[in-house]
Amino acid sequence: MSIDKDTAAKVAKLARIRVEDDALSALAQEFNDILGFIEQLNEVDVEGIEPMTSVTPMRLKRREDVVTEGGMTDRVLSNAPDAREGFFAVPKVVE
Amino acid sequence: MMTDLNKLTIAEARDALRKGDVTSAELTEACLTQIEGAGALNAFVHDTSDIAREQAAAADTRIKAGDAPDLCGIPLGIKDLFCTRGVPSQAASGILEGFRPEYESTVTQNLFDAGAVMLGKLNMDEFAMGSSNETSVYGDVVNPWKVDDRQLTPGGSSGGSAAAVAADLCLGATGTDTGGSIRQPAAFTGITGIKPTYGRCSRWGIVAFASSLDQAGPMARTVRDCAIMLEAMCGHDPKDSTSADIPVPDFEALLNGDIKGKVIGIPREYRMDGMPDEIETLWADGTAMLKDAGAEIRDISLPHTKYALPAYYVIAPAEASSNLARYDGVRYGHRARLEQGDGITEMYEKTRAEGFGDEVKRRVMVGTYVLSAGFYDAYYNRARKVRTLIKRDFEQVFDAGVDAILTPATPSAAFGLGEMANADPVQMYLNDVFTVTVNLAGLPGISVPAGLDKQGLPLGLQLIGRPWDEGDLLNTGYALEQAAGFVAKPEKWW
């Protein structure tokens, strides 16, 4: 499996990271180095083996479905690059 | 007043504080003075000296009142990955520039409840992704150990923590370990660090890298100090659904150095091609020390070891790509300056391109790829199946009566900063070859300094324990520490 420039561009788009065109070839090469390393996993016989979902067998705890903390809009928004009138502000999403 | 207070172990400082021979204010000032003079190491990146002085004063009051937990008044450094209320917590990333959490991580809260003093925030690899502390937005950390003109890496990702403890800037530090990020830097700097069983420490408020692998742990000068710190750091937390609701033993009380009859496994798969003779010798010496202390040595096999790193480099980036999706320029940290007509997609793409460093981008994109339609089964599910097999290898060995496993901590001593700059990313990943299996299996692992190489740089040995049996693991580490008698310190050049 070899990754070309177009695939690298597609992955960057999916990851929402802008990559300039002139950097795509080098990025594709890095992907290939890493994926080439990962390919070793194909040597392992995994027939009948369950994929791990939890490294320590434990049942997740349940709790009452109630508000535990809340009513602190100012603190929630205090680190926002742009917050107005009690909301996070972003560029226009719908034309 | 005692001299060189910053060089005390945590246990010594605790005893001196209780006897009234020293105050936390004095200990704290001694460390702050050392930090001020250690800019060349670039270990501390956010100054919290005002908080430290307040905490020290409060600790002194508490000690006088006779209500003093072990860590009361002990000055520590805190890795930048831990969210600390009102104090910059950036995970050494540009994308969290200016972020001041409104909340406190559970681990730091536990430490503060025990009376610990926070001297400052410590440098690290960006989002804990790196093995040399060269991916930090704050710049490289420099290892206090130096044998020639080169500046050496302290290892990563907890490189600031390791350098600060080794250079006596603080008595102990918090670290986190996703693939070896406590144990490898501990080995590179001649200190001790333990990654506990997955679920021992709450992950709440620790900036997430790979949630199924991340664990916090202590880095300190001795096994005893690690035992003291670990006990304060861990415990059940309802805010982390994977934190274990089981009692935390008094780890320090379990240190008696008696390992007679313990079975120590020596895994043949950890004997790597091209491993330096010195590492091989150190491993053999460590084995002999444990045998002399009365342990039974047994050759064991962990057949899937070879596949741990490739499985890790699927699972960790996959989880990272998901965890780091939250850095979108909306709720905190950096937002790119937008051009006329830019919409929300441009905002995401530009913000993340500007805010993340190269290694973080690379891992996020690799993770995105292995999770994408058509590759999910081939990469991600296969890696999770291999992870099941890696864990099973350990289970079989423990079921057969092995108490702990001895391996080298790293495949080499500390290397020069910049020396790996032209290597492909996989070369850097090989640093974690002996440590990453432990994260995949969720086990506790400790790195203990055990000798110097011929250049005079420290080397560490790793002990791997049964799940939830950190007490026994620390005690085996203690026996190794006593036998190895490692006392070398870096000569001060900074």
Is residue B426 within 8 Å of B310, Cβ to Cβ? no
Residues in chain B, pLDDT under 50: none
Min distance A59 CA to chain B CA atoms (Å): 9
Which of B483, B464, B447 shows the shortest CA–CA distance to B265?
B464
Q: Cβ contact (<8 Å) for A33 and B349?
A: no
Nearest to B84 by CA among B55, B58, B126: B55
Give the whole-angstrom CA distance, residue B172 versus residue B458. 18
CA B364 to chain CA mean position, Å? 21
ipTM of this complex > 0.90? Answer: yes
Count other Cβ atoms within 10 Å, centred on residue B247: 8
Residue B280 has a CB neighbour count (10 Å cut-off) of 13
* A72: chain B residues, CB-CB within 8 Å: 102
Residue type, B276: P
- Cα distance from B116 to chain A (closest Cα, Å)? 26
Contact assignment for B368 to A11 by CB distance below 8 Å:
yes
Q: How many angstroms separate the CA atoms of B162 and B195, rounded?
A: 14
Q: A-chain residues within 8 Å CB-CB of B328?
A: 16
B342 contacts on A by Cβ (under 8 Å): 91
* Widest CA span in chain B: 74
Report, as residue numbers or ranges, the catalytic residues of B: 79, 157, 181
B46 sits in which H/E element? strand B44-47
Chain A closest CA to B172's CA: distance in Å? 28
Size of interface A-B (CB pairs under 8 A): 167
The answer to whether the CB of B119 falls within 8 A of the CB of B59 is: no
CA distance B131 to B135: 9
C-alpha B347/C-alpha B367 separation (Å) is 21
Which of B329, B382, B388 faces A41 most closely, judged by CB atoms? B382
Q: Identify which of B198, B306, B353 has the shortest CB distance to residue A55.
A: B198
CB contact under 8 A, A81 and B307: no
- Among B8, B452, B490, residue whose Cα is nearest residue B221: B8
Of B331, B338, B356, the CB nearest to A80: B331
* Locus of tokens 């600060």: B164
To probe the interface with B, which of A5, A13, A14, A16 has the most B CB atoms within 10 Å? A16
Interface probe, candidates A2, A13, A41, chain B, greatest B C-beta count within 10 A: A41
Q: What is the DSSP code string of B61-117?
A: HHHHTT---TTTT-EEEEETTB-BTTB---TT-GGGTT---SS--HHHHHHHHTT-E
Query: B interface mutation test: which of A38, A58, A69 has the most B CBs within 10 A?
Result: A38
Smallest Cα distance from B223 to chain A, Å: 25
Q: What does the alpha-carbon distance between residue B46 and residue B53 come to, in Å, rounded to a whole number?
A: 15
Cα B441 to Cα B315: distance, rounded to the nearest angstrom: 13
Q: How far apart are CA B479 and CA B344, in angstroms?
A: 58
Strand runs labelled E in B328-457:
404-408, 445-452
In Å, the largest CA–CA distance within chain A is 57
Please count the other Cβ atoms lying within 10 Å of the Cβ belonging to residue B490: 21
Q: Which of B185, B218, B132, B210 is nearest to B410 (CA)?
A: B185
CB-based contact B103:B47 (threshold 8 Å): no
Region A33-59: what's the mean pLDDT? 93
- Closest CB to B361 among A17, A41, A60: A17
Residue B157: asked if its preceding bond is cis (omega within 30°), the reply is yes
- CB contact at 8 A, B270 and B305: yes
Q: How far apart are CA B494 and CA B219, in angstroms?
A: 21
Q: Do A52 and B241 touch (CB under 8 A)?
A: no
Q: Which of A27, A63, A88 sits opposite B331 (nearest CB)?
A: A88
User: With an 8 Å Cβ cutoff, are B306 and A37 in contact?
Assistant: no
Nearest to B52 by CA among B31, B83, B37: B31
CA distance B133 to B214: 17
To the nearest whole Å, the CA of B1 is away from the closest chain A CA by: 44
Q: Read off the pLDDT of each residue in A1-11 and give the average, rounded to a whole number.
A: 90
Whether A93 and B344 lie within 8 Å, measured CB to CB? yes
- Between chains, do A49 and B467 touch, taking CB under 8 Å as contact? no
Check CB contact under 8 Å for A79 and B382. no
The token pair that represents B365 in the structure block: 């994109």
Q: d(Cα B68, Cα B11) in Å, to the nearest integer?
A: 13
**Residue B282 CA from chain centroid, whole number:** 22
On whether the B5-256+477-484 domain is CATH 3.40.630.30, my answer is no
Q: What is the pLDDT of residue A57?
A: 82
